[in-house]
């Protein structure tokens, strides 16, 4: 049973990360579209669907299944898991910011530059590298 939950956890994590890496890229392109243009409206639909249909449920599933693994595997006292949860909390905070920017774009109220979203785009990738190393190598 544990291995099945782990497989589902990794599937949820892949879906979540796909959105975390793609949504800021959509924002980069959205910055170039004139507010009110057809292109801008299309980006709004893409951003909303990516967030609501994929990223939100995938994040919840990754958390629930991950906490289940920590409990059933008896991992919660291990330092690698505590460090991993700290990084996942940061990732979840970025998820919250991305959701806020989706709302800003939807209301044609984006305040940030293309360069800003390019930089933001790198953060989930860096966090993911740390999280996967902690989960697989378990260095401490």
Tokens in use for 104? 């800003």
How many angstroms separate the Cα of 5 from the Cα of each of 14, 29, 56, 128, 139?
14, 37, 19, 20, 23
The contacts of residue 64 (CB under 8 Å, 6+ apart) are none
By CB under 6 A, tell whether 132 contacts ligand HEM.
yes
Q: Does 22 bind ligand HEM (CB under 6 A)?
A: no
Nearest approach, Cβ of 116 to ligand HEM (angstroms)?
23
Which ranges in 31-55 belong to alpha helices (H)? 38-49
The residues in 45-74 that bind ligand HEM, with binding defined as CB under 6 A, are 62-63, 66-67, 69-70, 73
The verdict on 31 binding ligand HEM (CB under 6 A) reads no
The contact set with ligand HEM (CB under 6 A) reads: 6, 9-10, 13, 17, 62-63, 66-67, 69-70, 73, 75, 81, 85, 88, 91, 128, 131-132, 135-136
């Amino acid at each position: 049973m544990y291995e099945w939950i782990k497989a589902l956890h990794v599937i949820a994590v892949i879906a979540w990360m796909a959105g975390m890496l793609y949504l800021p890229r959509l924002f980069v392109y959205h910055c170039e579209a004139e507010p009110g243009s057809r292109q801008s409206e299309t980006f709004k639909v893409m951003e909303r669907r990516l967030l609501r249909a994929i990223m939100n449920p995938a994040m919840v599933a990754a958390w629930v299944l991950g906490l289940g693994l920590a409990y059933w595997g008896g991992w919660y006292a291990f330092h690698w898991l505590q460090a991993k949860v700290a990084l996942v909390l940061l990732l979840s905070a970025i998820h919250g910011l991305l959701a806020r920017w989706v709302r800003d774009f939807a209301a044609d109220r984006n305040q940030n530059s293309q360069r800003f979203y390019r930089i933001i785009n790198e953060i989930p990738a860096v966090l993911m590298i740390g999280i996967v190393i902690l989960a697989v190598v378990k260095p401490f």
